[in-house]
Amino acid sequence: MNIPNQITVSRILLIPVFMIFLLVPFQWGELTLLGAEIPVHHFIAAIIFIVAASTDWLDGYYARKYKLVTNMGKFLDPLADKLLISAAFVGLVGLDMFPAWAAIIILSREFAVTGLRLVASGEGEVIAASIWGKWKTISQIFAAAAVMLYNIVFELVSIPFDTILVYVAVILTVFSGVDYFVKNKHVLNKSL
């Protein structure tokens, strides 16, 4: 397994660690950052989430720079993203910190595109991430991080930036999902 794929696997392995800090109500007190009070365990979960999400950029950069792009990486990288994002949104919904309707839309799109990729794989094709898929992932990461960090950066100016990011993530998620299906309708047509 090459280094970019190892980095991708490390992202997957960080998910249970992230979930433990997000969901287990450790009694470690709270941090006050820029006027927002954040439970210490949620702050740690957010840092782990951000580090895990950052490996998405790192593995892609390394794979392109050193020409280590593989079909396994094309499949595993978006899967790792989906697992991390799904874990974050399901966990945040369970903590009543993220709107369930947004999580349902986001997760439905993720499953639908994964299904499309599986159909394409059966037809001998690999569907790599599109630019809209990448922007969708970035928006989802920022939305989840802002919610986990209790909107600390914008608490001082009273802007509900975390809510704005949730809406941006939903819009980009739907748009990128439609884009995948429109650009790859030939895959579905061949499989019928």
pLDDT single digits (tens) 159-181: 788 889 999 999 999 999 999 99
CATH code for 3-191?
Answer: 1.20.120.1760
Residue range 110-114: mean pLDDT, rounded: 91
| 123-149: average pLDDT | 89
pLDDT at 154: 61
In whole angstroms, what is the distance from residue 148 CA to residue 26 CA? 15
Residues paired with 36 in a beta bridge: 33
What average pLDDT is seen over the chain? 90
- What are the pLDDT digits (tens) for 52-94? 999 988 988 888 888 888 878 877 888 898 899 999 999 999 9
pTM (2 decimals)?
0.89
pLDDT at 10 over 60: yes
Confidence category of residue 157, pLDDT binned at 50, 70, 90: low
DSSP 126: -
- pLDDT bucket at 153, cuts 50 / 70 / 90: low
Token representation of residue 186: 């030939």
**DSSP state, residue 129:** P
Rounded to an integer, what distance in angstroms lies between the CA atom of residue 167 and that of residue 163? 7
**Distance of alpha carbon 122 from alpha carbon 18, whole angstroms:** 33
Dist. CA 162–CA 140, nearest whole Å: 11
Q: Are 87 and 45 in contact (CB under 8 A)?
A: no
* Angle, CA 78 vertex, CA 74 and CA 80 arms, to 5°: 115
* 37-52: average pLDDT: 95
- Domain range annotation of the chain: 3-191
N-term to C-term CA, the chain: 35
Instruction: Return all residues near 171 (Cβ < 8 A) that are at least 6 apart.
Output: none
Q: What is the DSSP secondary-structure string of 149-163?
A: TTTHHHHTTT--HHH
> According to DSSP H, which parts of the chain are helical?
3-23, 40-65, 71-94, 100-122, 131-148, 152-155, 161-183, 185-191
As given in the structure block, the two tokens for residue 169 are 């993530």
**129, 7 Cβ separation under 8 angstroms:** no
